[in-house]
Amino acid sequence: MNCIPIMINGLPGNVARIMATSALRDERFSFVPFSLTGEEITQGEVSVDQTTVTLLKPSEREDKINDILGSYPGFICIDYTHPTAVNDNAKFYVAHKIPFVMGTTGGDRQDLERTVKNGSVPAVIAPNMAKQIVGLQAMLEYGANTFPGLFKGFSLQVTESHQQGKADTSGTAKALVACFNQLGTDFEISNIEKIRDPEIQKENLGVPEEYISGHGWHTYTLKAPDGSALFELKHNINGRQIYVSGTFDAVIFLKSKIDTNDFEQKLFTMIDVLTAGK
């Protein structure tokens, strides 16, 4: 397989930097040395693993994108930017016919899906790119569809802890709450406890010091009305390396769809990626 050119957007952010560092060391990819960034970023470029990457603000990218497309034909974008940028970035990708993997959560997800469906290029969109968590979500969705109402009458408590800079409520938590509600609970998304205080994370939850700046700890607790039964589901992720493998699998999945012209549906999820690779 020829190297797939990829452009990783969201630098100088931490997740985008991890993705870029990993991509530079992965022989399956060639690295496009540009990155979409926020208007508030004062840097004009960053260095990643001794490679200089030019940062493009929203006010600059229209002037540069045609040159980039000419120099790196067929590249695929990976988006780890900011929830406030999700919809504008997706419209930018679709307008310029750039396939993309959207790893950024938040934004108007219905509008995001409409943008892709109305465009002409495929995209993978998922609230979580960690394959194991995606598989866990798929299992819960199966259970919810197969045994609806199984936990009727049970109460649900949800906590999700992430680094202080994560602005939105976890998309994964929202997706799992939907499964639990189908299983019979009655839980509002607004009742998810969102923990962003580093002291609470360290002292109350036990998040290791070195992962305070990058972690995702989730706990879902189901309790019977009389307190006689309790079920608890946890998934605690330290660092961001787990997201790299899933994201790169999504890129390869998109490349395969493009090469075979097999993207009539255009909008794909990580479930599609996992199913294709099984």
Active site residues: 162, 166
Using left for φ > 0, alpha for ψ between -120 and 50, and beta otherwise, residue 49 falls in: left
Q: Given the structure tokens 């660092």, which residue do they identify?
A: 239
Q: Is 106 exposed, middle or buried (0-12, 13-18, 19+ CB in 10 A)?
A: buried
CA 90 remoteness from chain centre: 14
Cα 223-140-103 angle, rounded to 5 deg: 115
Q: How far apart are CA 166 and CA 186, in angstroms?
A: 26
Distance from C-alpha of 162 to C-alpha of 213, rounded to nearest angstrom: 8
